[in-house]
Amino acid sequence: MVGNWSFDGPDMADNTAFDRSGQGNDGTLTNGPTRQIGRIGQALKFDGSNDYVDLGSASSIDDLDVFTYTAWIYIKSFPAGNRAGIITQGLNDRLCEVDNRGGASGDKTLRLTTDRGTDTNLIAADDLLTTNRWYHVACVFDLNGTNRLYIDGSEPSYGTNTQGSGILSDDPGQLVIIGAFDPPGNEFNGLIDDVRVYNRALSSDEIKRLYKIGATTKINSPLLSKGNITFDAASNSGGQSGVSSFSWNHTASGLNRLLLVGVVTSDGANLRTVTRITYGGKALTKARNDLSGNRDAEIWYLANPPGGTNSVSVTLTASVDRVMGGAISFNGADQTSPLDANNGTTGDSTAPSVDVVTKTNGAVVVDSLFYRDDTTDASCTAGAGQTKQVTVTNGASSQFGMSNKGPQSPAGSVTMSYSCTGASTPWIISAAAFKPLKLFTVNKSPNTGSIQNGLVGYWSFDGPDMAGNTAFDRSGQGNDGILTNGPKRQIGRIGQALEFDGVNDNVDLPVIVGNSKTIWSISAWIKTDMTAIGAIWSEADDNVGGDSEITMDINVTDAGKLRVTTRNGGDIDSIAVATAINNGQFHHVAATRDGSTIILYKDGVQIGSNTAVTASPPNQNDAAIGTHPNNNSNFFDGLIDDVRVYNRALSSDEIKRLYNIGR
């Protein structure tokens, strides 16, 4: 093996993907591929526009005469009439790629292209790849000059098999690339994980073994349960007529957001459908649409939409007689591939209904209903267990509705139904189910026994515990954090840490569910040489003066002290101990409170205490890592890793155990 890029947290730092093969072929993330939950730990998500990883052209991976390329891939969309690189070198030299150029041997296939001077090897597997699922792929060029492909550990049938002759072309100036070839151009749209390069041809048994690493190992499964999707907000466009585009404002808030937009159209002469929906400039993906005559009902979705108030903009194929739109936002949704299942149907009655078979425990089902009664005012009531979030009428006879139902546990069939007034009349329902966020409820082996008891917040910042700008809470309480203003992933003390710039970086957290204000523990690994006050952990209210807070920070302006403060209005208690904490080395810091006593620890050893504490914050407050949330100040400059919050006071032995995990 001459190259292995796992993209897991310990193997990433800022824009560098470290080579785990020992050959030093580290890759550079170019144009912003993002970290996502992968098939084995963490993957990189490529946007299909300009993202790729530059592996350089070191001799150990450049111009290999014999090679094997392997990777796990998750295709979001195929390049329209084109090819997309998975692992490549040059324009045609050595390309392991996805091909969607049409024809019997080029329609959504895996392809290996090698340039042998006058002859080019082309080999493609026919019609085997689809979107939104994981594949293990391998591209092999052996000592006999023969190309071979493998998909999920097996060699497929071939549509094009032109083996050619001659030696492979050498071009030392061509870079080895993940996620594109000869960029800019031919970029991959989706996730790529666990990329490997060998300077020999692996056997079919060896490739089967690589496939089984990701196929039979239930990555993250022992650590995961499903959280609950919760309703955030709803909005609608009102009835629109004679338009080819329209918009309205929607406000989304909370964490791990999901935006769903429903649209229905009706035209007397022509069918009009939706061509594009954006929210705050970000494009949505269509989950489902259903047609009945010149009527259309659709559902679109966007994971991790922008927070705050933004415009929902809908574009249609042409001007339409009547159109209505609505939006619903949720919290706690899967951020990688939220769509779970969909179904739709049409009918002519006063009882529209559709069944959706969910595949994931805890999924929420949302529908988009169009109902028309030409003889009376239209009105539809949602069925049992449904909550109707959107109702729009357009004229006296047309109604649009959006309802949600669930979370559905266990997974299975969910019926979305309505009871409508008037005579039997045409209707359409499009419905889709969406998955909840994965929550880490059981910690890894070091986190067994007593140091798991009472854990109400745990942010490891490791690869499997991060997705996009979300830091998952592994305590099981669902207190996921949002990376704000760009804290960067770096090699930490235990796996991966976050680097804060001391200017505005922080992790925004909700009110910590289950936390106590008088009995608690806070623990973290930090590395800093900052020369200003920097908050490691803080809970505080929204008042500028900080009327209610619990804060652990480094007060460098006060003789370089590690400090913990609790406040209730004018009642303030603090403990600050001068110690070598800002010396550019990793240190474990912890604080506990048991009633009236606060104890401060550094590197597993007690360094101070205050036994006369009376201030107890009266409120449940928002929390943050790396800043003071009440006035957005005291930003931390350095690395923070493995942050834990408990609703009990840990013993000195337990603090020592936490320190020993990372020492």
Which tens digits make up the pLDDT trace of 303-318? 989 888 999 999 999 9
pLDDT band at 566 (very low <50, low <70, confident <90, very high): confident
Q: What per-residue confidence (pLDDT) applies to 495?
A: 81
Same domain, 451 and 385: no
Residue range 353-378: mean pLDDT, rounded: 85
Same domain, 423 and 507: no
| Residue 429 CB partners (closer than 8 Å, separation 6+) | 290, 297, 344, 345, 346, 352, 353, 354, 367, 368, 369, 370, 416
- Do the bridges between strand 519-527 and strand 308-320 make them parallel or antiparallel, or are there none, so unpaired? unpaired
Same domain, 427 and 452: no
Pairwise CA distance, residues 629 & 618, whole Å: 16
In this structure, are residues 362 and 229 in contact, taking their beta carbons and an 8 Å threshold? yes
Same domain, 302 and 185: no
Domain final residue, candidates 386, 414, 436: 436
Residue 648 vs residue 377, higher pLDDT: 648
Pairwise CA distance, residues 171 & 12, whole Å: 29
| Residue 203 CB partners (closer than 8 Å, separation 6+) | none
Same domain, 88 and 117: yes
Task: Tally the domains of the chain.
Answer: 3
| Residue 605 CB partners (closer than 8 Å, separation 6+) | none
Pairwise CA distance, residues 233 & 248, whole Å: 14
Residue range 500-516: mean pLDDT, rounded: 83
Same domain, 290 and 421: yes
Pairwise CA distance, residues 620 & 540, whole Å: 8
In this structure, are residues 239 and 392 in contact, taking their beta carbons and an 8 Å threshold? yes
Same domain, 190 and 334: no
pLDDT at 127 over 90: no
Same domain, 402 and 327: yes
Residue range 246-266: mean pLDDT, rounded: 91
End-to-end CA distance of the chain, in Å? 31
Burial class for 559, CB neighbours closer than 10 Å (0-12, 13-18, 19+): exposed
Domain final residue, candidates 406, 436, 466: 436
Q: Which domain holds residue 55?
A: 3-219
Domain final residue, candidates 436, 466, 496: 436
Same domain, 193 and 232: no
Q: What per-residue confidence (pLDDT) applies to 532?
A: 83
Calculate the dihedral angle through the C-alpha atoms of 72, 77, 83, 84, rounding to the nearest 10 degrees: -40
Using a pLDDT cut of 70, give the percent of the chain over it.
86
Q: Does the predicted model carry a pTM greater than 0.75?
A: no
In this structure, are residues 135 and 73 in contact, taking their beta carbons and an 8 Å threshold? yes
Same domain, 430 and 445: no
Same domain, 630 and 595: yes
CATH number of the domain at 461, please: 2.60.120.200
Two structure tokens written together for 251: 């406000």
Which tens digits make up the pLDDT trace of 274-313? 999 999 999 999 999 999 889 999 999 999 898 889 999 9
pLDDT at 42 over 90: no
Q: What per-residue confidence (pLDDT) applies to 300?
A: 98
Q: 30-34, 281-285, 490-494: lowest mean pLDDT where? A: 490-494
User: In the block, which residue shows the tokens 């923070």?
Assistant: 640
CA 301 to mean position of chain CA atoms: 14
Same domain, 156 and 199: yes
Q: 13-22, 48-57, 85-94, 558-567: lowest mean pLDDT where? A: 558-567
